[in-house]
Chain A
Amino acid sequence: MKIKIKFFARFTEIFGKEAIFEYEAGETNSLKDAVGAFCRSYPEKYGEVFTRDGEFQDYVLIMHNLERIDRDDAGAVKLADGDEIAIYPPVAGG
């Protein structure tokens, strides 16, 4: 299974602009699981995107194949090979 994860704003400073993530698709092949597995390879920065309970941080915006995904639904969205995920931390300055 191969997906593309795109990062924006300050997340690009941690994870780069985009990553191709290859993994063994198991029974729990959700968007949340896949992005979580990718972010766990940055143990010190995992908490920027996810809470300790493994949920997306409540301010993070998520897109799946250019469609907005509600944070509460990220565990239910199943991925297919070639899918594109975007993770956006809103900016706040003025």
Chain B
Amino acid sequence: MISEDELSRYKRQIMIFGEEGQEKLKNAKIFVAGAGGLGSPVLYYLAAAGVGTLVVADRDKIELSNLNRQILHRSADIGYEKVFSARDKLTALNPEIEVITFDGTIDSSSAERIVGDADGIVDAMDNFATRYVLNETAVDKSIPLFHGAVRGFHGQATTIVPGETGCLSCLFPNAAPAEVSPVLGTTPAIIGSIQANEVIKYLTGRGRLLTNRLFIWDGLEAESTIMPFAKNPKCTVCAGRK
């Protein structure tokens, strides 16, 4: 049930998807991998929209060099675990939601357990190795994966619905080389907002998801490009799976 306070808090978006849609958000549990550049806008917007349970996973502590883009965290938080800083900010923004934290490494031995019974996974990671683990977990659990990645003024996003669409390994059969990416706060703000928008669309059943399409953003040109893709029948992760 939606309370009087919640009716008031979410009034302007209940105009879009009704109390029924708000109830769907409230009953949802979303796993967000990473509380950094992408995780900050994703978590803020999912919390503000009233996604009932957010699971935040990150192993890092806050450093000064994070603060140009990781807007969940403050100068006074330096040295504090990102997941606890995230929980503090999100529950201050919206005390109606529950924030669960995992202060550790997401890998093939932990992913199944920490994702648990979440309804979807947001990929707000900074490396392809962990992204592939998240993709396999999403395919195993048959829950959607909301992918985003950034570099400098450039970013990309796509939504994967296992069983219906190509997966992350269909799209990226091989990882891009690791590097310390240059990045500006506005790029993860744009890409993370697209990811959060996709989660809200998925949960409320609104619109057309960003599936089988890679959204490519060039902030220097203020231009976007769509790259269509499909299931790879030879995919080592999802081929032959339901």
Contacts and interface: CB of A to CB of B under 8 A. Distances in A.
Interface in A48-67: 58-59, 61, 63, 66-67
A74 to B, nearest CB: 14
Interface stretch (A24-32, A36-44, A82-90): A82-90
A93 B225 contact: no
Interface in A1-44: 8-10, 12, 17
Interface string A70-86: 00000000000000001
Contacts of A67: 228
A92 B228 contact: no
Interface in B215-237: 216, 218, 220-221, 225, 227-230
B149 A90 contact: yes
B174 A8 contact: no
A59 B175 contact: yes
Contacts of A89: 176
Interface of A: 8-10, 12, 17, 58-59, 61, 63, 66-68, 86, 88-94
16 contacts: A8-B216, A12-B218, A58-B173, A59-B176, A66-B228, A86-B225, A88-B216, A91-B149, A92-B151, A92-B176, A92-B178, A92-B179, A94-B38, A94-B125, A94-B127, A94-B149
Interface of B: 34, 36-39, 124-128, 148-152, 154-156, 171-179, 181, 183, 188, 214, 216, 218, 220-221, 225, 227-230
